[in-house]
Structure 1
């Protein structure tokens, strides 16, 4: 993965998942009895559904009903069986409380964003290890090894070994190895933030319940992952993403100076 591919993938994730949030939240408002009434604060700020110009406005005097998909029906059948007991009103009570769609979407955004950043790191480190393996590998070979496999094959094998070892380490250990591979290291504040992003993602991926992450958290997470990737691209001499860079900022200039040293992503 080069920097251009990283940027395009994570931007697609960011836009797709925030649009999915808008759709889910808009539908939730239409279904929620607490959101009835044209003066309800639910309709003061998006996301919400509205009518096109010159068409009658959507009526907010009552909540609406969702007709679920075949996929939801099959999921319910897998959970409750084909003929679950019915309530007095003829409906079927779902035995689980659904997660807030915002939490599910934010969780997915964070997992995918981190995976892309890690893949970008690994792609470039793999090349760096292969290029510099002779400078740090101490494995000894005999003449038969050179005769049977040749120098390039031996180098590739040792590079693959070191890369496998590298991938198995946590971020805080990996980034200390960059100098060994003749790669400049990330600045301290970026190292700390990368470790923070990694710890947050790992605990999200390995807990039995979703934490209460919101879309705001996921967007901030993307911002720092993107910023770290830009610095990585400079270190790796990867100019593929240069045409895609812009000067958009998530924080004010004053906050930007301080925000890197703050712990923003509290472990779930």
Structure 2
């Protein structure tokens, strides 16, 4: 029986794992969490920006797209700010579909980006409303995701490439029918906000190439194959991991791993890792 084309949700999120951004981030409120596969927009899993799209592979269209900043507070304010309207982060995505190969392999290419500004900085909201830009640097993320669904062999191949400012942390995952989430990769931030955001770089943050076996209804069958790992080790065949084990590999990584915390607070944690190896 051929695999049914189904609906999938893709989440890409920028978040700061500490309670605040530290001295280099003017002590603005952070998200106080580690890497997660929990739904976007639901406390306590907040993000500085979360970008979520829903892809209908059956209808070959993006059925919805959300780009939202969870409320945050400046150290000199009593209340959290809610960014909406012209102050809300912006996101977009385009979908390209190729004609099915042998009437069994369907390909979808997603090209998108999102960006947002910390409008809690003095004068930034007024400047944005009147002039449609701000002096505050924008947090930028770009992505390309290619999905191949083989309805005869019964699997999805998904290639993910995410770039951007490299600050703050970034995580991406796909959710299938039935609510099963699978990590597409994570990235621990580089540098500090003033420099990292103002450079407006296109730094590679997440790269992955996965094979996901599918059930007849298009849901994930329970295992993940890592094609990049296979190629790097020159293995002849793709090996598979249980979804729970695969996800734990990413959610268990410390959210400050390899990041010199002296950039944010009075701590030398992770500052000499390279020197000790």
TM-score over 0.5 (shorter chain) = no
Greater relative contact order (Cα < 8 A, sep 6+): 1
* Larger relative strand fraction: 2
Q: Which has the higher helix share?
A: 1
> Shorter-chain TM-score category?
under 0.3
